Amino acid sequence: MHDYSVFGRFDFEWSPVGVSFLLKEPQGVRQLEKQLALCEMFREAQAGPPFYVTADNFQCGTQVVGLADFPPVMYSGQLGPEFSMFKTPSANRRVYDYVPVLPRDSVRYLVHARLEEMTFDPDLLILTANAAQAEIILRASSYSDGRMWCAQGSSCLACAWLYAFPYLRGELNYTVSGLGFSMKARQVMPDGLILIAVPGEMLSQLIENLNDMEWEPKWFKLGREGFVQAVRELEARLSQEYPPELVWGEGGGVR
C-alpha cells in the first residue's frame, strides 16, 4: 500500500474516502444494510466503518457504475423537465451522449472506506476540501508534470463525474458541492466544498508531490503590495541573468 500519511497534514473536516470497483465479493468488510444513492455513499463512509454495496443497495446511480442500463424514460430525457433541470427532453437527452458510465457488468461490488480505515490502494480517492486545501491538492496534481486541471460535470448524473470519469479516464476531476442536482436535493454535503476525485494511477505521484513541494509559498504571505514588490525584485534579478527583452518581453514582465 501507499503511505497516505501526508493527507493527515490537511486536518480535513471530512475524511478522504477510498473506493474500489470489484467483480468478486470482497472479504473482511460488511455489506451496507440500507439503500443510498451513489452520490451519498462516500458521505456514508466518512461517518462510519468500511462497507461494500451491490445493486440491491442503490436507490439510484446503478447505471453509472455498470450495474444496470438506463431505462427509456431516463435515456429519452423525459425526467429533465420534470425536475426543472432541462427545458426540454431533447436537452436532457444530450447528456447521455457524453456522460461517462462504466461498461455493463464490469463491476458487481463497490467498497468504500475512509482513509483512516483503508486497507487497500483504492481505484479512486474522493477528497472533500475547502478552497485552501483544494488549491494545495490541485497544485500538487500538476506539480511535477504540468498536467492541466480537469473539471467536468453536468447537473444530472453528477455522481458519474466523481466515480466513472476519473476511473475510466485516469484523470483527476473535481466539482463543488451544491452543483449536482440530486446531491443538493438529498442534502448530502453543505454547499461550497470542493470534491476532488483522484484515480488510483495518480495517487503515487500526488503523494510524492505533496511530500516534495512547498504547501504555502512565501508569495501567499506577502499581501498585494508585498507580492508586487517581490515580483519586481525577481524581475530585476532575472534581468541580470538574461537579456532584458527575455524578462520584460512586450507585455511588461512576468507580473
Which 8-state DSSP code applies to residue 52?
E
Mean pLDDT of the residues in the chain: 93
pLDDT band at 238 (very low <50, low <70, confident <90, very high): confident
pLDDT digits (tens, 9 = 90+) for 150-200: 899 999 999 999 999 999 999 999 999 999 999 999 999 999 999 999 999
Residue-level pLDDT at 68 = 94
With a cut of 80, say whether residue 25 has pLDDT above it.
Answer: yes
pLDDT band at 30 (very low <50, low <70, confident <90, very high): very high
Cα torsion angle, 133, 4, 202, 215, sign: positive
Residue-level pLDDT at 250 = 63
pLDDT digits (tens, 9 = 90+) for 94-111: 999 999 999 999 999 999
pLDDT band at 252 (very low <50, low <70, confident <90, very high): low
Q: How far apart are CA 51 and CA 110, in angstroms?
A: 8
Asked if 37 and 61 count as a contact pair (C-beta separation under 8 A), the reply is yes
Where are the alpha helices (H) located in the chain, listed in sequence order? 38-46, 72-75, 79-82, 89-93, 131-142, 158-169, 181-185, 200-212, 223-241, 244-248
Burial classification of residue 152, based on how many CB atoms lie within 10 Å of its CB (0-12 exposed, 13-18 middle, 19 or more buried)? middle
Asked if 95 and 73 count as a contact pair (C-beta separation under 8 A), the reply is no
Gyration radius (Cα) of the chain, Å: 22
Q: How far apart are CA 158 and CA 177, in angstroms?
A: 10
With a cut of 60, say whether residue 124 has pLDDT above it.
Answer: yes
Domain ranges of the chain: 5-212, 218-248
